[in-house]
Structure 1
Amino acid sequence: MLIIPAENAVNWKRPPWVTLGLIMACLLVFLFYQGGDDRKFEAALEDYLESDLLALEAPAYEDYLQREIQFEGSQQRVLELQEFQQLQENEEALWQAVTLLLDREFYQYLQQNRDLIWAPAQRNLWLERRSAIEEQWISRMSAYQLGLVPAELSLYTLITYQFLHGGWGHIIGNLLFLFLLGFTVEKALGPGRFLVAYLVCGALSGLVFTAFSMGSQVPLVGASGSISGLMGMYVAIYGLQRIRFFYFLGVYFNYFRAPAIAMLPVWLGKEIYDYWFAGATGIAYMAHAGGLAAGAGLVWLLGQSWLQVKDEFFEPEQEEQDEQFTKAYGQAMASLGRMEFDLARRQFEALRERYPERPVLLEHLYQLAKLRPDLDSYRMRAEEMMADAIARRQPEQMVDVWQEYLSKGEAYHPLAPEAHNRVLFASLKRHDFKAAEKAFERMRAKAEPDMVNEACRLLVAEFEKLQMEPKARHYRQLLQVHG
């Protein structure tokens, strides 16, 4: 049974560049670095068969499997012994060689017990020929150079193993899950922190695998530990929120909703159960469990500091916001149509609080406030409209609002001198001298002398440019009076 979170869709207007970069890096490593592994292994097989190592190792391999069966009672080893004996009966030397070269635990057993298995002459022959194959071919394969080998743990392989894969099925499956989970976690954390958290989860996953495979020569490769870390981070980010999950069972698939964090013990339990009871499947179950725990743990430990989720992550996508806005806007307009003005005002105020960047909402609030010009709310909305018009570089709209307010609300609640001064500046730029002079007179009555003097200088300069000397002289005289 497969269960994966499916709460978000990709926003291609803001692509998950780090996730896509990790996918590309894994593909390039697989194609161009690991692409030579098949040739190296084929050369190793050829040398192995030519060196007559099969005759030396095949009997030892049967003894090795029988010992494992005797001491561990492993059913998997019974099957391996039966398969190898079948290969011997069919005289399939090539597949016998493949089996012996790929079983790294058997090679480790031979190194530790060679003095007991062979006589000195045979031992020296085996050591010379097998060591040459190991050094020339096997050790140069990607899994042994950059894979995570528990018996030979090094810091750099805790990172490099995450970019290696064992075949096309392995890499396609991992990269699909990396994309499905990565774009959401990257959106939540931001590109830089996402990349660091992804690599740290992979490293911690590798350490957990090593702890349960101490002394093993079998290399760990693949991004599945890091991807399990993404799954842990995903559900920890949402916590108790109910999110959507996709599940696949046989040929049946569907969606269900559940508290996100409820899936963490389910996933962990499955990996631990499979580790103990699934047998030798070649899947690193404890690496997956370690990644899950690491991802959730990082979010819980650092979620209030370095690994804090970006505020905008929980905001709806633009399409969903537009849909929500349209619905709420329609309800407010319906209230207007029924002449329920107080209700409409509250609805538009709530909308403007959520969508402050939409000027149409301020326009509606201004029109509603204009119904009661005797209230101070009309002055406040008029000043907001004027400021908004200036911000959107629409001075003519500002002047229109100002003139309308003078006729309706100025008698009740006069505008501040600064508002008249802004109209004066805007009118001069538009060469609307009539409005500019009107604004000057309104401003002059209550403004500080410095503001009046500056306005006089501007008016003098403009009228001198137009060679309107009587007007210029009038404002020079006012300048002297106020100066």
Structure 2
Amino acid sequence: MLIIPAENSVDWRKPPWVTLGLMLACVLVFLFYQGDDDRKMQAALEQYLETDLLVLEAPAYEDYLEREVRFEERQERLQDLQEFQSLRRDNEEVWQALALLTDRDFYQYLQDNESLIWTPAERRYWLEHRSAVEQQWLSRISTYQLGLVPGELTPYTLITYQFLHGGWGHIIGNLVFLFLLGFTVEKALGPARYLVAYLLCGALSGLVFTAFSMGSHVPLVGASGSISGLMGMYVAIYGLQKIRFFVFLGVYFNYFRAPALAILPVWLGKEIYDYWFAGATGIAYMAHAGGLLAGAGLVAAFGKSWLQVRQEFFEPEQEEVDARFTSAYAQAMASIGRMEFDLARRQFQALYEQYPDRPILLDHLYQLAKLRPDQPAYRQRARERMSDALAHRQPEKMVQTWQEYLKEGEPHYPLAADDHNRVLFASLKQQDMKTAEKAFERLRQTAGPEVTEEACRLLIAEFEKLQLGSKASHYRHLLQGTI
């Protein structure tokens, strides 16, 4: 059974850089740090077989597995016993040696009971040659160096184990889930808090695994505990809000909606059930359960403080925003088509308040106000449109609006001196001297002497640059006559 949340899609305009960075780190560690593990294990096997350690350890291993099944009641090890006995019957020395070298609990058992298993001479031989294999090769393998070993727990391995993986299938599976869950949680928490929460979930997951595997020397590796933490955070962030999930059951798959937190006990129940009844699968079920609890618990405990969800996280996705805008915009345009201008004006005003960054809405409001040039609303919209055009570096649009208003609305509600002054400056930048002169004439009628004199000096300087002496002289005379 597989159930994963599928509420959001990736916004590649704001990539999940921390999630992508974590994925890249796992890949680089796997390729460049763990990439030499196979060679080291091969060398360990060759040295192990050359020194005839198999002759000493194989009988002890068979006895060890029988004790595990009979006295420790570890029925999951019965299959290991049967497989090893089959390897001995078939004289498969390499596979026997591999089983012995990779069973770290057995190696600890040998160290604890060496004096009981072998004669003094055998013990000395075993200590000399087995220690050499361990020191030269096995201790340098990544999982034994930086993996989390419950029987020898060290603080730094609570972090390092999260970046190690046991094979291509293991790392690919984890990275897929890391991406599917990570981009949403990163968007909700922000990059820095997300990274801290991710690593903390992995560490807490490792502690839970250690508590249920006390004394074990089998290393734990992989990001699945941290990823389970992301699952716990994901549903805790949404709480009881209904979100979409993807479910896969054998050959059946589908989507369904449910309260987010309602899925948490389902996930936990599955991991705990598998821990008790799935047998020896090599999957760290309690690490997954610990991660789920850690992620949900962190959001529950600190969701109103350092782990608080960003306010904009719950804003709709851009595709949804665009769809809503398109629908409302079409309704407003339909009102214009029916010549219901008052209704259209209210609809466009509501849209403009909701989407102030879309100039087309202001254009429609301006055109609707222009239908009644004798009303003050036309002057307000004309000034807003001129300011918006200037902000978006569209001087032609600003001048066009200004000229239209002079024809239609100026007789009813004249523009202020600032409006004419803006047109003057924009026209001078564009070297549109005809419009600049027209704006200056309007400015003379509305502005104070200081503003008018400064505008006159600007015209003189610009005409002189254009080598239009007669025009420059005209405005110089105006300036000398104190305008």
Normalising to structure 1: TM-score of the pair? 0.90
Q: Structure 1: state its 5+ residue gaps.
A: none
Deviation at 1:413, TM superposition (A): 3.1
Q: What do residues 268-312 of structure 1 show as CA deviations (whole Å, max 9, x unaligned)?
A: 222222223322221111211222222233334444454444455
Distance 1:435 1:39 in 2: 81
Give the structure 1 partner of residue 111 of structure 2: 111
Deviation at 1:431, TM superposition (A): 5.0
Within the alignment, does 1:397 sit opposite 2:397 as a pair?
A: yes
CA contact (8 A) 1:427 1:436 kept: yes
Q: 1:427 to 1:45 in 2, by over 3 A?
A: closer
Q: 1:262 to 1:437 in 2, by over 3 A?
A: same
Within the alignment, does 1:474 sit opposite 2:465 as a pair?
A: no
CA contact (8 A) 1:460 1:475 kept: no
Q: Structure 2: state its 5+ residue gaps.
A: none
Distance 2:250 2:59 in 1: 42
Within the alignment, does 1:457 sit opposite 2:447 as a pair?
A: no
Question: More displaced, 248-257 or 438-447?
Answer: 438-447
Q: 1:445 to 1:176 in 2, by over 3 A?
A: same
Distance 1:431 1:95 in 2: 87
Deviation at 1:132, TM superposition (A): 1.8
For 1:276-355, list aligned pairs within 5 A.
276-355=276-355
For 1:185-334, list aligned pairs within 5 A.
185-334=185-334
Distance 1:445 1:187 in 2: 55
Amino acid across the alignment from 1:422:
R
Amino acid across the alignment from 1:19:
T
Question: More displaced, 361-370 or 72-81?
Answer: 72-81
Q: 1:282 to 1:433 in 2, by over 3 A?
A: closer
Amino acid across the alignment from 2:468:
L
CA contact (8 A) 1:463 1:472 kept: no
Q: 1:54 to 1:333 in 2, by over 3 A?
A: same
Give the structure 1 partner of residue 123 of structure 2: 123
Distance 2:119 2:248 in 1: 56
Question: More displaced, 422-431 or 169-178?
Answer: 422-431
Question: More displaced, 213-222 or 443-452?
Answer: 443-452
Give the structure 1 partner of residue 416 of structure 2: 416
Aligned with 2:482: secondary structure?
helix
Amino acid across the alignment from 1:172:
I
For 1:374-393, list aligned pairs within 5 A.
374-393=374-393
Distance 2:461 2:85 in 1: 107
Q: 1:424 to 1:52 in 2, by over 3 A?
A: closer
CA contact (8 A) 1:205 1:294 kept: yes
Percent sequence identity is 74
Distance 1:170 1:228 in 2: 15
Q: 1:130 to 1:462 in 2, by over 3 A?
A: closer
CA contact (8 A) 1:139 1:145 kept: yes
CA contact (8 A) 2:77 2:280 kept: no
Aligned with 1:414: secondary structure?
coil
Aligned with 2:214: secondary structure?
coil
- Say how many residue pairs are matched: 479
Distance 1:421 1:82 in 2: 94
Amino acid across the alignment from 1:248:
F
Q: What do residues 12-64 of structure 1 show as CA deviations (whole Å, max 9, x unaligned)?
A: 45443433333333223223322222222223223333333333333333333
Runs of 4+ in 1 over 6 A off after TM superposition: none
